[in-house]
């Protein structure tokens, strides 16, 4: 987390310094925005969004709580990880020529940690707390004096490099782009079995890393509501090709003299489809010299197909939340 915000501070400082320098040494340029044509001399654009979002899994098992409620009835509860909303930065910089053709680069990173889970078997003595399957490893809690802890986290980032083309059609303005996206996704699962003395009797640490590169395309449309207000919508599709790595380290009977330890590593090819959608509005202030600031905000979501969950099980991954940002044209 510290690394993420240090990168963010560095990028913001660079953008502010570059904009101030352009204001001092450059002449007044015409405004460039999603709702206006390109100026005759070309224009730069840069900005930053703060995204407040949470990850959503189609399946993300953390622990399974089983208890025998009668001689003929077994109650089973699948407990999944719960993530809170977390802030993440997105920055971009681009240039558009007088012919409405431009180039743009953007970077986004998101990191979050799930709320820790702590479960103990039923006090009746007929219960069991199990973790997701990891081969033959088994560190389940089976007595009421034992306790199972589970943690998970994820870290994802994406870099886009693309060409852009702006077009005016009727009352709306369209911005089409195409290029290359590089993305990386890290997911981790950790479980600990504590015995009656709160000593670690079993441990599981699992990590999967997916990374890929491939084509990305987006389309944006904007329309002015007033002289300064506008609404916009952006959709993006990417298809990345790369590889995934899984690594498991586990220990059983760690409170005994001769514990059982397991280490496994697996690699695979990965096809990663990604869909992004953004809906929002923006407000443009009066020009400050050659700099035109714009405040923007709205709702967005992202879908990452078949990336698996924190414990390596099959699952899609989504991000849903809100964003607020500031961009400038000069």
Q: What is the pTM of this model?
A: 0.83
Domain CATH code at residue 118: 2.40.128.100
What total number of domains does the chain contain?
A: 1
- Whether residue 87 contacts residue 141, with contact meaning beta carbons closer than 8 Å, is answered with no
- Which residue range is the domain that position 85 belongs to? 2-329
Backbone angles phi, psi at 62, to 5 degrees: -105, -55
Do residues 248 and 208 make contact, with C-beta atoms less than 8 angstroms apart? no
Cα–Cα distance for residue pair 123/67, rounded to 1 Å: 10
pLDDT of residue 18 exceeding 50: no
Q: How confident is the model at residue 290 (pLDDT cuts 50, 70, 90)?
A: confident
Q: Are 223 and 184 in contact (CB under 8 A)?
A: no
pLDDT attached to residue 40: 58
The radius of gyration computed from the CA coordinates of the chain, to the nearest angstrom, equals 25
Under 8 Å between Cβ of 40 and 30: yes
Q: How far is CA 216 from CA 137, 159, 185, 209, 232, in A?
A: 40, 11, 17, 21, 20
- Read off the pLDDT of residues 46-74 as tens digits, 9 standing for 90 and up: 999 999 999 999 999 999 999 877 777 78
pLDDT in tens, 64-113: 999 877 777 788 999 999 999 999 999 999 999 989 999 999 999 999 99
């Amino acid at each position: 987390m510290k690394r993420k915000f240090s990168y963010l501070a560095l990028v913001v400082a660079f953008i502010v310094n570059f904009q101030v320098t352009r204001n001092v040494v450059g002449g007044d340029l015409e405004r460039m925005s999603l709702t206006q044509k390109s100026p005759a001399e070309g224009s730069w654009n840069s900005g930053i969004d703060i995204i407040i979002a949470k990850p959503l899994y189609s399946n993300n098992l953390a622990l399974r709580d089983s208890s025998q409620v009668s001689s003929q009835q077994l109650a089973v509860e699948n407990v999944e990880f719960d993530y809170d909303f977390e802030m993440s930065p997105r920055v971009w910089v681009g240039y558009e020529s007088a012919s409405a053709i431009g180039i743009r680069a953007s970077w986004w990173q998101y990191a979050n940690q799930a709320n820790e889970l702590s479960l103990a078997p039923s006090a009746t003595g007929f219960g069991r707390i199990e973790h997701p399957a990891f081969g033959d490893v088994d560190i389940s809690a089976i007595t009421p004096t034992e306790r199972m802890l589970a943690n998970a986290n994820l870290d994802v980032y994406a870099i886009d490099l693309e060409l852009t083309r702006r077009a005016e059609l009727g009352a709306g303005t369209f911005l089409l782009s195409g290029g290359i996206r590089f993305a990386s996704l890290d997911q981790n699962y950790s479980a600990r079995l504590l015995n009656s003395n709160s000593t670690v009797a079993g441990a599981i640490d699992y990590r999967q890393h997916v990374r890929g590169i491939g084509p990305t395309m987006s389309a944006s449309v904007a329309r002015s509501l007033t002289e300064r207000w506008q609404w916009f919508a952006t959709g993006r599709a990417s298809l990345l090709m790369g590889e995934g790595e899984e690594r498991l380290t586990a220990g059983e009977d760690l409170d005994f003299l001769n514990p059982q330890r397991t280490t496994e590593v697996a690699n695979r090819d990965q096809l990663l489809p990604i869909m992004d959608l953004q809906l929002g509005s923006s407000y443009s202030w009066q020009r400050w010299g050659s700099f035109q600031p714009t405040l923007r905000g709205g709702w967005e979501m992202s879908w990452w197909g078949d990336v698996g969950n924190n414990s390596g099980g099959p699952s899609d991954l989504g991000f849903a939340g809100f964003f607020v940002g500031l961009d400038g044209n000069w």
